[in-house]
Amino acid sequence: MSANNLAALSEAGVSIWLDDLSRSRLQTGNLVGLIKDKHVVGVTTNPTIFASALSHGEAYDEQVRELAARGADIDAVVRELTTTDVRNACDVFRETWQASGGKDGRVSIEVEPGLAKDTDGTVAQALDLWKTVDRPNLMVKIPATVEGLPAITRTLAEGVSVNVTLIFSVQRYLDVMDAYIAGIEQAKANGHDISGIQSVASFFVSRVDTEVDKRLKAIGTPEAEALLGQAAIANARLAYAAYVGAFSTPRWQELAAAGAHAQRPLWASTGVKDPAYSDTRYVDELVVDNVVNTMPEKTLDAVADHAQLRGDTVSGTEEQAQELFDSLEQAGIDIDDVYDVLETEGVDKFVKSWAELLETVQGQLDKAKG
């Protein structure tokens, strides 16, 4: 398996982050190996990833036993287990963080998904996670719900680096960038060193195709069938054009002159769900300078093995992408409804994963006490 594709991707300006973390990755040196051999320069986590990590193997047993002996409750145990992994991963990436001037070497941890509609609760937990992990290369993940937008601004205003997650529409992405810029302005006013704050905006890719394709197949006309598998990439390309626009305004230039960093787009949900499509398409088709692509290891391996990289596949595609959305509308796709459904589903999936995580840990606690 060749890492040349991964090197080429990095050279094209795409930061490769792993969309996974577990204690066994940390203990076995697997994560160190991915940094060394696979050009991985960051890690993202979410409730589903932690639910999976904690339900496999015995890597967490000892810490669970210690916490059980101290009488910790379920929420405290989950917080301790997840923040320990994230803190240790931050330490593994410290050199990467330093070498990239703080741009990469980042590890993300998400606020509890049940807080997605609670602005104050999100801010309180984001600041608490920042203090608990206590590493400068942490990013706290906040969902881009309507209630999440002011939470993003307020968290950034405290000097905390933020990974905004669950973005599906370009309109919401514009709101996110606005929330980011306002947060940086407030951080500056609050006396924080804004050159130390980094942020990414996680724009979800594959789920858009899953939902749009399902609707196109239900419509079933030749015109609809001809549009299959194109919405997600066009959506992300329009997002990139919005990013270029948002960070070229006089308002932003003033902050940039004071040391602020533009909030990079991050392509999330890049594992391909439909076996009819190439398993590297959400990497091949979204190559452009100054973005992040966070991949499950399966996608990372597929890219190393057989990616069809051909340089920048995003710049100059805005008009074509917009034409596709016009065609989707003509075919009968209500794209705003697609985005609403995806956001609701996204929050619900993470809430469900969080419940599974609590259930798994409760089982481990009971065993430790037994």
- Point out the residues that are catalytic: 141
Q: Which amino acid is at 367?
A: K
Give the C-alpha separation, 301 to 3, whole Å: 9
Which uninterrupted H or E stretch holds 190?
Answer: none
Q: Residue 134, SS3?
A: coil
**Triad 317, 321, 324: Cα angle to 5°:** 150
Distances, alpha carbon 266 to alpha carbons 17, 81, 164, 237, 288, in Å: 9, 26, 9, 12, 11
* CB count in 10 Å sphere of residue 159: 18
Give 286's contacts (C-beta < 8 A, 6+ positions apart).
205, 233, 236, 237, 267, 270, 293, 313, 314
Give the C-alpha separation, 172 to 193, whole Å: 27
Give 124's contacts (C-beta < 8 A, 6+ positions apart).
none
Q: Give one DSSP letter per residue of 234-295, joined into a string.
A: HHHHHHHHHHHHHTTSHHHHHHHHTT----EEEEE--S---TTS-TTHHHHTT--TTEEEEE
Nearest to 292, CA basis, from 144, 108, 88: 108
Give the C-alpha separation, 35 to 164, whole Å: 24
Give the C-alpha separation, 231 to 6, whole Å: 25
Give the C-alpha separation, 246 to 244, whole Å: 6
Cβ atoms of residues 18 and 293 within 8 Å:
no
